[in-house]
Amino acid sequence: MKPVDMNSLINYVSLKILGGSDYLLDALEEYLVNGEGPAIVAHKYNISKHQLRGYAQRIIEKSGNEVRAKKVIPILKEMASGIKPVVIRDENGVYQCSLCETVVAREDSEEHVRKYHKDVLTLSIKNMMEKLEEIRAKRSKPVIFTSAS
């Protein structure tokens, strides 16, 4: 069985949150972990069902399988708790970077962060890694995943 690709998960989640999709883990928890209907969850977070399934698919792939993804999502939520989006969507649905005030298209928001604010991305990844170490240290029983690196 494929191991959980924690580095890839951390990269993916960091970039999504910084790019303005800070609802990602809440939506995935409701859909995958709690078993809410995709239409309800998608509507709540103002995304399409197709997008929601796409997010779920990516997390499942990186986790190895769906059972593991369900275990990993709450841990990722805890790890990402301090991360705030860099690109913010206003009430008119306009995505604007809070650091350089550039207006970006929704689909370009992650690329914007990766290209112009790499330091923020690197720091977020580092923070998530540190949280993961804290979470692992707190647990008495062995954690289900091992770092792929």
- For the bound state, the minimum distance from the C-beta of residue 126 to Zn ion, rounded and expressed in Å, comes to 20
In the complex with Zn ion, the residue whose CB is nearer, 10 or 97, is 97
Pairing of strands 87-89, 95-97: antiparallel
State the number of CA atoms in the 13 A half-sphere of 126 facing the CB.
6
Residue 148 engages Zn ion in binding (rule: CB under 5 A): no
Report DSSP state, residue 115: H
Q: Coil, strand, or helix at residue 48?
A: coil
**Rounded Cα gap, residues 37 and 59, in angstroms:** 18
* φ/ψ of residue 81, rounded to 5: -60, -30
How many chain residues interact with Zn ion (CB under 5 A)?
5
Site string for Zn ion, 98-137 (x = CB under 5 A): -xx-x-------------x---------------------
Question: Residue 68 is encoded by which pair of tokens?
Answer: 């593991």
Residue 97 engages Zn ion in binding (rule: CB under 5 A): yes
In the complex with Zn ion, the residue whose CB is nearer, 26 or 116, is 116
- For the bound state, the minimum distance from the C-beta of residue 105 to Zn ion, rounded and expressed in Å, comes to 13
Q: Is-contact 52 31, C-beta < 8 A?
A: yes
Segment contacting Zn ion (CB under 5 A): 7-15, 23-31, 51-59, 92-100?
92-100
Pairing of strands 103-104, 95-97: antiparallel
Site string for Zn ion, 52-91 (x = CB under 5 A): ----------------------------------------
Bridge partner residues of 104 (DSSP): 95
Name the residue number minimizing CB distance to Zn ion: 97
Question: What is the contact surface with Zn ion in residues (CB under 5 A)?
Answer: 97, 99-100, 102, 116
